[in-house]
Amino acid sequence: MLSGILQTKGHRKLVCRAVYTMLEGRNMINKSTFTRIEESSEKKNASEKGRATIIFSLKNEVGGLVKALRLFQENHVNLVHIESRKSKRRNSEFEIFVDCDSNHEQLNEIIQLLRKHVNVVDVEPPDNSCLHEEDMNEVPWFPKKISDLDKCANRVLMYGSELDADHPGFKDNVYRKRRKYFADLAMAYKHGDPIPYIEFTEEEVQTWGVVYRELNKLYPTHACREYLKNLPLLSKYCEFREDNIPQLEDVSRFLRERTGFTIRPVAGYLSPRDFLAGLAFRVFHCTQYVRHSSEPLYTPEPDTCHELLGHVPLLAEPSFAQFSQEIGLASLGASDDSIQKLATCYFFTVEFGLCKQEGQLRAYGAGLLSSISELKHALSGKAKIMPFDPKVTSKQECIITTFQEAYFVSDSFEEAKVKMREFAKTIKRPFTVRYNPYTQSVDVLKDTVSINSVVEELRHELDIIGDALNRLNKQLGV
């Protein structure tokens, strides 16, 4: 439907503009007599009504369109969408498309009345264009606004304040107490709160310093150019230094200005569904604790070294941020099987992805960029490298205890994004979603009303682009 509506500006316009132009040009009516018709908020006889479409062309009669539109008002028929399109039947004519809420009796009556003023070309009777509520009841719950993340951000699956017996800090009571402190802070956090400032211990800063120093030796030859571009900015604005662990609140403010992403503290591992849901709202769930000092170059779980050195520099890159968000949006309301496929694609791109730059392999995955040994291995020439294809990648086994058996390479973030976008279309959902950055919520597109609303916004954006091009052409003398 979107592709059908978004055609050239000359062939399709909003009805208000088309009517205004036609009537004003022919001196048929004064500007003040045309009243914009809005959708009524009343839903009378909603159970009996459906969405009907009427297509008609104007007769050679002064004020014919205005008279026709008034018939809908007078007969209490809700107009949902109106537009004019250049006729495919006669190039010299425009046809008016009207979507309305109507039952069969109302529809027959309004058609008979319309025939007195217009030529009725086609009629599509009331349909079932809306998604039934029972269909939505079968969809897994998902957050619809950013504050809804409060409902799922604390469903930690692993670690948090508890540690497994094989964890380096399992027998260290001081470390376990420190971990509980970080977990309690994350559990108490609510959307809109400032992220608590942390006084890191000398031992924690030293551990961070070892990781920071050793990884920075590899970045010039192993990290992608986007990473290398953004890391100095983080040093400048967020105090990324060997002797200082950045504060998440500072990092969150920096990312918000760069790409709209924000940081939310988390106590430990989230389920793939809950983690990906955060990405849909450009929220990255981020741990604040530091790995155990006994093994500074190893961690069995994501810690703040992994998050800040692995993920954050690329979350500051617009194309990568968009790629991450689109994976998150595709996950909302998806089945468990689809979530697993999306999470696997995320794992082999955002965590362990490779790209080609200047004919060389470079890392962009956070799991690689925060692991000295695996970063070396992935680019050693000995690792198995495969082209990124979501259909293939989604079936690859994810390994968290040793090196991956295979790594996937893309020519660019844009290429990976296009492939993921096509893959997301194969996910079975009775709707799709669109992120609204103004309200930090998702619009669920499940019927013609919600889709038309998006189309109207797109038209406005295209008008802005069209105006910009016209001004540029004037400057260039085109």
Interval 337-390: pLDDT, tens: 999 999 999 999 999 999 999 999 999 999 999 999 999 999 999 999 999 999
Pick the closest to residue 263 from 246, 245, 285, 280 (CA basis). 285
Residue-level pLDDT at 90:
60
The mean pLDDT of 240-251, rounded to a whole number, is 98
Of 43-57, 325-339, 346-360, give the lowest mean pLDDT range: 43-57
Q: Give the rounded percent of residues in the chain with a pLDDT score beyond 90.
A: 60
Residue-level pLDDT at 11:
32
Catalytic residue among 84, 338, 370, 410: 370
Residue-level pLDDT at 251:
98
Residue-level pLDDT at 166:
83
The mean pLDDT of 402-406, rounded to a whole number, is 95
Catalytic residue among 226, 252, 311, 371: 311
376/287 Cα distance (integer angstroms): 25
234/224 Cα distance (integer angstroms): 16
Whether residue 111 is predicted with pLDDT greater than 70 in this model: the reply is yes
Whether residue 12 is predicted with pLDDT greater than 80 in this model: the reply is no
Residue-level pLDDT at 93:
67
The mean pLDDT of 105-125, rounded to a whole number, is 79
- 3-state SS string for the chain: CHHHHCCCCCCEEEHHHHHHHHHHHCCCCCHHHCCCCCCCCCCCCHHHCEEEEEEEEECCCCCHHHHHHHHHHHCCCEEEEEEEEECCCCCCCEEEEEEEEECHHHHHHHHHHHCCCEEEEEEEEEECCCCCHHHHHCCCCCCCEHHHHHHCCCCEEECCCCCCCCCCCCCCHHHHHHHHHHHHHHHHCCCCCCCCCCCCCHHHHHHHHHHHHHHHHHHHHHECHHHHHHHHHHHHHHCCECCECCCHHHHHHHHHHHCCCEEEECCCEECHHHHHHHHHCCEEEECCCCCCCCCCCCCCCCCHHHHHHHHHHHHCCHHHHHHHHHHHHHHCCCCHHHHHHHHHHHHHHHHCCEEEECCEEEECCHHHHCCHHHHHHHCCCCCCEEECCHHHHCCCCCCCCCCCCCEEEECCHHHHHHHHHHHHCCCCCCCEEEEECCCCEEEEECCHHHHHHHHHHHHHHHHHHHHHHHHHHHHHCC
Residue-level pLDDT at 87:
67
345/49 Cα distance (integer angstroms): 43
**pLDDT: is 262 or 114 the higher one?**
262
Residue-level pLDDT at 92:
53
The answer to whether the beta carbons of residues 325 and 435 sit under 8 Å apart is yes
456/176 Cα distance (integer angstroms): 54
406/389 Cα distance (integer angstroms): 13
Residue-level pLDDT at 159:
63
Residue-level pLDDT at 98:
87
Residue-level pLDDT at 131:
52
Residue-level pLDDT at 15:
33
Interval 145-156: pLDDT, tens: 999 999 999 998
The mean pLDDT of 69-87, rounded to a whole number, is 82
Active site (annotated) includes residue 102: no
Catalytic residue among 83, 226, 351, 374: 351
Residue-level pLDDT at 138:
80
Residue-level pLDDT at 5:
28
Q: How confident is the model at residue 130 (pLDDT cuts 50, 70, 90)?
A: low
Q: How confident is the model at residue 170 (pLDDT cuts 50, 70, 90)?
A: confident
Active site (annotated) includes residue 306: yes
Q: Which of 22-36, 58-72, 338-352 has the highest mean pLDDT?
A: 338-352
Whether residue 27 is predicted with pLDDT greater than 80 in this model: the reply is no
Averaged pLDDT score across all residues of the chain:
84
Catalytic residue among 306, 307, 326, 374: 306
The mean pLDDT of 314-319, rounded to a whole number, is 97
Of 104-118, 126-140, 179-193, 261-275, give the lowest mean pLDDT range: 126-140
Residue-level pLDDT at 3:
31
Residue-level pLDDT at 33:
30
Q: Which residues contact 93 (CB under 8 A, 6 or more apart)?
A: 57, 58, 86, 87
The answer to whether the pTM exceeds 0.75 is: no
Residues forming beta bridges with residue 127, ordered by sequence position: 51
Active site (annotated) includes residue 311: yes
Backbone angles phi, psi at 87, to 5 degrees: -65, 135
325/280 Cα distance (integer angstroms): 5
Residue-level pLDDT at 310:
97
Whether residue 167 is predicted with pLDDT greater than 80 in this model: the reply is yes
The answer to whether the beta carbons of residues 183 and 160 sit under 8 Å apart is yes
Neighbours of 8 (CB within 10 A): 7
The mean pLDDT of 222-228, rounded to a whole number, is 97
Of 82-96, 315-329, 425-439, give the lowest mean pLDDT range: 82-96
Residue-level pLDDT at 447:
82
Of 22-26, 43-47, 234-238, 260-264, give the lowest mean pLDDT range: 22-26
371/378 Cα distance (integer angstroms): 11
Active site (annotated) includes residue 370: yes
